[in-house]
Amino acid sequence: MSMYFTKEHEWVKVEGNIGTVGISDHAAHELGDITFVELPKIGAVVKQFGVLGSIESVKAASDIFAPLSGKVIKVNDALDTAPEAVNESAEDAGWMAQVEITDEAELKNLMTQAQYDDYLKTL
């Protein structure tokens, strides 16, 4: 199973035609205590790098962008009452949505884990 990243610090894990999306450990750490996650609606159709939802911490509010185009098939609604799960486990239990991927070719616009790690060093 491969994990890909955007420059805006979202990740997507791809399994078959399903992509699980969240924000990176780096982003969660930068945001600080996360207090609210706006999840997309199931059935919503999102475009690559279009707005998927938003996330708020004590310090800031930011949009979450879709790493890949697709249709939202599942959301992590545990985050409605416990958004701190994103701080505790941003790249696993703090996932936000699952999308049915429409175009796997879009992966070429994303970074691999190694590329993302290098990218973080430039920030």
Partner 1 sequence: MDTKLQATPISGRHRALNALMAPFGGWDMPIQYEGIIAEHSWCRSQAALFDICHMGEFIFQGDFEAGGLEDVFTFSVKTIPPGRSRYGFLLNEQGGIIDDLIVFRLAEDKVMIVVNAATAPNDFAVIQGRLKGGTFTDITAATGKLDLQGPLSRYVMVEIFGEEVATLPYFKFITVNILGVEAIVSRTGYTGELGYEIFIPSEKVCELWDLLLTDERVKPAGLGARDVLRLEVGYSLYGSDIDEETTPLEAGLGSFVNFEKNFVGKDALLRLKEQGVARTKVAFEVSGRRSPRHHYDICSAGETVGNVTSGVFSPMLGKGIGIGFVKPQLAAIGTPLTVSHERISMEATVCELPFFKGGSVRS
Name residue 113's beta-bridge partners.
Answer: none
Provide the mask over 82-121, with x wherever binding to partner 1 is found by CB under 8 A and - wherever it is not.
-x--------------------------------------
100, amino acid identity: E
Among 63, 88, 92, 103, binds partner 1 (CB under 8 A): 63
Smaller CB separation from partner 1, 9 or 13 = 9
Strand partners, 22: 11
Contacting residue, 58, 105, 114, 123, with partner 1 by CB under 8 A = 58
Q: Which is nearer to partner 1, 56 or 100 (CB)?
A: 56
CB of 34 or CB of 110, closer to partner 1: 34
Rule CB under 8 A: say whether 1 interacts with partner 1: no
Question: In the structure encoding, which two tokens stand for residue 61, read together?
Answer: 């509010």
Query: Which amino acid is located at 122 in the chain?
Result: T
CA-nearest of 59, 22, 17 to 39 is: 22
CB 85 within 8 A of CB 54: no
H helices within the chain, ranges in order? 25-31, 85-88, 113-122
Residue with smaller CB distance to partner 1, 8 or 100: 8
Binding-site member from 56, 74, 102, 119 for partner 1 (CB under 8 A): 56
Sign of the dihedral through C-alpha 20, 61, 117, 82: negative
Query: Where along the sequence are the contacts to partner 1 (CB under 8 A)?
Result: 32-33, 35-36, 38, 51, 54, 56, 58-59, 61, 63, 83
